[in-house]
Amino acid sequence: MKVIEIEGAKELNGTIRISGAKNATVALIPAAILTDEEATICNVPEITDTDALCDILKQLNVNVNRSTESLVINPKDMKNIEIEEKYSKKLRASYYFMGALLGKYKKAVMYFPGGCSIGARPIDLHLKGFEALGAKVTNEGNRYTVEAEELHGANIYLDIASVGATINIMLAAVKANGKTVIDNAAKEPEIVNVATFLNMMGAKITGAGTSTIKIEGVEHLHKCFHEVIPDRIEAGTYIIIAALCGHNLKIDNVIPEHIDSLLSKLEEMGIEMEVGADYVIVFDGKKELHPTNIKTAVYPGFPTDLQQPFTVLLTKAKGRSKVEETIWENRFMHIAYLNKLGANITVKNRTATIDGPSELKGTEVVATDLRAGAAMVAAGLVAEGKTTIADAEHILRGYEQIVEKLKAVGAKITIKEI
């Protein structure tokens, strides 16, 4: 098990550079197999989710070359074999291989994906989408077979604007015969990044970033070069950390409009910032903060993935704040640990009520999932004394070099294997 130790209450100062977006990367890697030629993806973050997907590529006999920040994927000798459970369970996004393999070979066999325990996480909308395109879905326990004689375009309305279902249906539809329309599609920037990648390979996708995506099927996809967008969730996490304990801390390589909802909440709380074209500087994280309420929502609403780190900031606001989680029913696992650190938070149904301000004091906590882990890091950095975070592997799934980046701006943080 990996453990992160933080000696907290140190002022952070300097620049943190944001890496490529995890949630785009995890879809771009499976998407790359849709061509038989070489795809080069740069700004790929070094996180364990990237490693897990590259392991799946290697199982499928795809040639993968990793150099600093870029990934060259060549599927010319690829074999469409079953993706074993030991690979699929490592991360939720392994499900993108279902859409990509179906799109390429009209057949995918894999086990139900794993990922953070933050809610039920069904994939019914993905499967319904595949069926609408002409595929037959069968399962024996956790083993799913998705197969089609021919994939044809279809009109698909998503009951929920699901990120995963939107991307997976796009992957399955790019080479289908005819036109597919996805209505009530999710609008997250990562979806636009994936659609751009597919279009650079020769796909015909329009409307990504709106709630109607149109895909005109093509026969052939060719080689391409593509760049992953900056990670808005990583950026948001460090901006929250800056608001907690930064002094002139610059978060660089950011697309500010991707985090508008966070920035406006921070302004409401009284955080002073400079928002540039591709950076955010938080001047002083030590001011008295105003309480506020957030409700998580699909993009461009307040991202559920920032709810947990943001709750740490709310413990520093004077008065009562509320956090309503509308996407995942089990995303309050961090609250018990924040209370152990000294916060005053109660949870009822899907709403957390935070009474602040609270002085946090270091203690032993657990990273129960990726973003809960990020919340523990944020809390440990602002708490007096030593915080020990167990199960830190979860954090490394989505934050590139988190320990090194924080050390470089003055944090006393280490990671070790016990």
Measured at the alpha carbon of residue 246, what is the angle toward residues 314 and 413, in degrees to the nearest 5? 95
Residues 6+ apart with CB under 8 A from 345: 311, 315, 335, 338, 339, 352, 353, 354, 355
Q: How far is the CB of 47 from ligand UD1 (least distance, A)?
A: 12
Residues that bind ligand UD1 (CB under 6 A): 23, 26, 92-93, 119-126, 160, 162-165, 186, 304-305, 327-328
Q: How far is the CB of 122 from ligand UD1 (least distance, A)?
A: 4
Closest to 4 measured CA to CA, from 340, 391, 308, 406: 391
Q: Which residue is nearest to ligand UD1 (CB)?
A: 164
Per annotation, catalytic residue among 54, 116, 224, 245: 116
Q: How far is the CB of 395 from ligand UD1 (least distance, A)?
A: 14
Which ranges constitute the DSSP H helices of 79-220?
85-88, 96-105, 124-132, 163-173, 189-200
Measured at the alpha carbon of residue 252, what is the angle toward residues 257 and 189, in degrees to the nearest 5? 35
Q: What CA–CA distance (Å, rounded) separates 235 from 18? A: 6
Burial class (CB in 10 A: 0-12, 13-18, 19+), 342: middle
Q: Which is nearer to ligand UD1, 28 or 269 (CB)?
A: 28
Please name the residue that has the structure tokens 């799913």. 144
Strands 246-252 and 12-17: parallel
Q: How far is the CB of 308 from ligand UD1 (least distance, A)?
A: 10
Say if residues 54 and 71 touch (Cβ distance below 8 Å): yes
Q: At what angle do helices 232-245 and 370-382 cross, to 10 degrees?
A: 20
Q: What CA–CA distance (Å, rounded) separates 148 from 283? A: 56
Q: How far is the CB of 305 from ligand UD1 (least distance, A)?
A: 5
Residue 116 appears among annotated catalytic residues: yes
Say if residues 34 and 99 touch (Cβ distance below 8 Å): no
Q: Which is nearer to ligand UD1, 153 or 164 (CB)?
A: 164
Q: How far is the CB of 31 from ligand UD1 (least distance, A)?
A: 13
Cis peptide before 113 (omega within 30 of 0): no
Residues involved in catalysis = 116
